[in-house]
Chain A
Amino acid sequence: MQQSSPEENNIRGPQFCINDHIDIVVEVLKRLDGPSLGVAACVCRLWCSVARNDSLWEHLCFRHVSSPPPSSVRPVVVALGGYKRLYMVCVRPVLSRLSDSDLVRRVWTRDEVQLSLSLFCVDYYERRLGGGEASASSSLMFLCNPVNV
């Protein structure tokens, strides 16, 4: 942060521009939830490119997991489409379905992580199967249906 002399303070305010400090931007965005991260990506081009960084989404996916996932998970997720896709396609709907109605931050269990990863893998595979036979990732469409109360 620039230290401005007292005389300069009378003329103009502190000259801190967050876009000059991408590491801070990353730290801030790391703490956002999914929708906010999406909104942040719309702020400007710089923020958009930062928000596209998959490690942010990795952080988001596993933020609430009770124990951190093993290091072998990352290459698998990256190979299957990346953390952002994992979040959008599996984590977000799974969490919203499995969590209680009150919006308490809950800890994700290992089983739920495993299930999400399996569903993600099926999604990847179906997209590769692709073609005109079945719509892409349609096996996960059931996650998008509104819950029948």
Chain B
Amino acid sequence: MEPYNSGGGVSSSSSASSSSSSSATSITQPQEMDGYLAEAGYNVRSSDLRHVAQRLERLENVMVNSHDDLAQFASDAVIYNPSDMASWVDSLLSASDFNAPDLDFADAIMTDPTAAFPADTWSDIPPPISTAAPPPMQNHQQITSFTAMEEDSGIRLVQLLVTCAESVQRGDLALAGSIIETMQALLTRVNTGCGIGKVAGYFIDALSRRVFTPQSVTSDGGSAHENELLYHYFYEACPYLKFAHFTANQAILEAFHGHDCVHVIDFNLMHGLQWPALIQALALRPGGPPLLRLTGIGPPSPDGRDSLREIGLRLAELARSVNVRFAFRGVAASRLEDVKPWMLQVSPKEAVAVNSIMQLHRLLGSDSTRIEMMLGWIRNLNPKIVTVVEQEADHNKPGFLERFTEALYYYSNMFDSLEACGAMQPDKTLAEMYIQREICNVVCCEGVARVERHEPLAKWRTRLEQAGFRPLHLGSNAYKQASMLLTLFSAEGYRVEEKEGCLTIGWHSRPLIAASAWQVMPLPEPTATATNPLGIVNHSANHV
């Protein structure tokens, strides 16, 4: 087949219109392929000729007006079936950043893809055909070039989100509601599978809960069992919790050096995923393992199961297999501040480690009494080490707008990092649900219900130092281990940084989780001070 003859020339609008006029007179069945173009090797339905002609005209304008961009936009387009003229014209147009309306070429017949391409017509451009087998391309949105329209929508969404948050802060809920509706409409035109579309989706959802159904929001997003499950998926899907566990374990291991009786207090046991690695490391330490006691704090189980005890049994089984003497105790408490020191049964002869993975921020509130009390009694246990891992974000600001924009930035980074990890479904979706619960709490809840009161490391430093702790530098072993762990994750983009003895893990330039270790600063004598109103000093033998 010749690429063209006098009747079927494709580049000039005059010949296109002549073929459309000829088809208008000869048309009997609208779905029939145009005869003239078919002779030339192109399959275009007669009814579509006018559309195609217009698109060709527009494409010609683009070609003429953008000399320097020709090669680039031509190579951006991926064309699967050159004889399907309508679709490749559209691909070229959308690659050149023109708005490509959803053309109704759904039934375009796929024919021989090796039909001759009129190379002479576009003589400046190498034919941008992909010779792969044509996929059943039904609509043109499969061409995922990031068009200017989508980028604008993303920016617009962020602007609307901030405006909505600002109106919520002002108390103008009616305006907030209408902005939410606008955003929901805008979401349909954006790719919500990744990037700004996905994050925006979660934040719009949270805002709409706050504005439309405030009574349905509770501080705990679901049952304890559900939370444990989502936590597990979050553990699997990205390295943050692994980093937290391994770094804390390394610090605890080093602090326990030389001690034969050790006691770890875990503020949030969950499935106890942190402890197998510590048990194994203690089993292999030179000089043999110590007697290890683990006290795990967790919420009470509603259905009569003693989930804490079950986890304890599993850990005991593991410890027994590797010959580590082990004892477990579970402390069920629905709030961390309900735990009292006597429940932990700390013995003066043992070296104590207190481990808090993203728990301390729950005690922050409008005043600092709860956190100060907790830090006070932790100090009175005289621990060898206190490991603290917290989100590196400032989500405890009183103003809603500031908090909202801070959270938007923080969780965008977190979602991006999750995307890059390449976790499989459904793990990834469930991990996202875990993050979504945090977002909802930060955005929707106030007062006592808001427990996700993250504060950055600098603020925790001040708090802990005021409470009588001094920083313990995480050594180079912890840093090396963290770096190795990150290398194993198949995503470039994670960063481990060391800052004044603390380690942070982040996504590109933004730290997201910070791990630090603390030891007790010895008080010289019992005095009543602002941070230690009862003047309590532990009189038991001080471990040096």
- Interface, chain A (partner B; CB < 8 A): 70, 72-73, 75-76, 79-80, 93-94, 97-98, 111-112, 114-115, 117-122, 124-126, 128-129, 133-134, 138-139, 141-143, 145-148
Nearest to B483 among chain A residues (CB) is A111
* B284 and A76 within 8 A (CB): yes
* Interface residue from B279, B314, B481 paired with A128 (Cβ < 8 Å): B314
Most chain A beta-carbon contacts within 10 A, residue among B239, B288, B487: B487
Can you list 11 A-B contacts (CB < 8 A)? Answer: A76-B284, A97-B487, A117-B284, A118-B276, A118-B277, A121-B277, A121-B318, A126-B273, A129-B314, A145-B421, A148-B490
* A121 engages B276 (CB within 8 Å): yes
Residues A139 and B235 in contact in the complex (CB < 8 Å), given A79-B322, A80-B322: yes
By size class, the interface of chain B is 35 or more
State which of B314, B427, B484 has its C-beta within 8 Å of the C-beta of A115. B484
Known: A75-B323, A111-B477, A148-B492. A118 touches B281 (CB 8 A): yes
Most buried by B among A73, A94, A126, A142: A142
Q: B318-341 CB contact bits vs A (8 Å, 1 = yes)?
A: 100111000000000000000000
Contacts of A115 in B (CB 8 A): 246, 481, 484-485
Q: Least Cβ distance of B316 to chain A in Å?
A: 11
Q: Find A148's partner among B271, B273, B487, B491 (CB 8 Å cutoff).
A: B491
**CB < 8 Å: which of B229, B273, B480, B490 contacts A125?**
B273
Asked if B284 contacts A72 (CB within 8 A), the reply is yes
Complex interface: chain A residues within 8 A of B317 (CB): 128
Chain B residues numbered 492-518 whose CB sits less than 8 Å from any CB in chain A:
492
Closest to B491 in A: A148
Given contacts A98-B487, A121-B279, A139-B236, A145 and B422 within 8 Å (CB-CB): yes
A145 touches B490 (CB 8 A): yes
* B-side contacts of A97, CB under 8 Å: 487-488
**In whole Å, how far is A39's beta carbon from the nearest beta carbon of chain B?**
27
Q: Which residue of A lies closest to B321 (CB)?
A: A79
Q: Cβ of B283 < 8 Å from any Cβ of A?
A: yes
Q: How far is the CB of A124 from chain B (nearest CB, A)?
A: 7
**B49 CB to nearest chain A CB (Å):** 46
Separation of A72 and B281 alpha carbons in the complex (Å): 11
Q: Which residues of chain A have C-beta atoms less than 8 A from B242's C-beta?
A: 139
The main secondary structure of chain A at its interface with chain B is helix
19 further interface pairs, Cβ-Cβ under 8 Å (given A79-B321, A98-B488, A129-B314): A70-B284, A70-B286, A79-B322, A98-B484, A111-B480, A111-B484, A114-B281, A115-B481, A118-B249, A125-B272, A125-B318, A126-B273, A134-B233, A139-B242, A141-B236, A142-B239, A142-B423, A148-B420, A148-B492
Contacts of A80 in B (CB 8 A): 280, 321-322
Is B461 at the interface (CB under 8 A from chain A)?
no
Smallest beta-carbon distance A139→chain B, Å:
6
Within the complex, what minimum Cβ distance (angstroms) separates B313 from chain A?
10
CA gap between A129 and B113 in the complex, in Å:
54
Flag whether B409 is at the interface (Cβ < 8 A): no
Minimum Cβ distance to chain B for residue A114 (Å):
7
Closest chain A residue to B275, Cβ basis: A125
Alpha-carbon gap, A97 to B391, bound state (A): 28
| A114 contacts across to B, CB distance below 8 A | 281, 481
Contacts of B488 in A (CB 8 A): 93-94, 97-98, 142-143
Q: Tell me, yes or no, whether B122 is within 8 Å of chain A by CB.
A: no
Least Cβ distance of A111 to chain B in Å?
Answer: 5
Please state if A112 and B277 are interface contacts (CB–CB under 8 Å).
Answer: no
Among candidates A93, A126, A138, A143, residue contacting B427 with C-beta atoms closer than 8 Å: A138
Q: Which B residues between 228 and 285 are near A, CB-CB below 8 angstroms?
A: 229, 232-233, 235-236, 239, 242, 246, 249, 271-273, 276-277, 279-281, 283-284
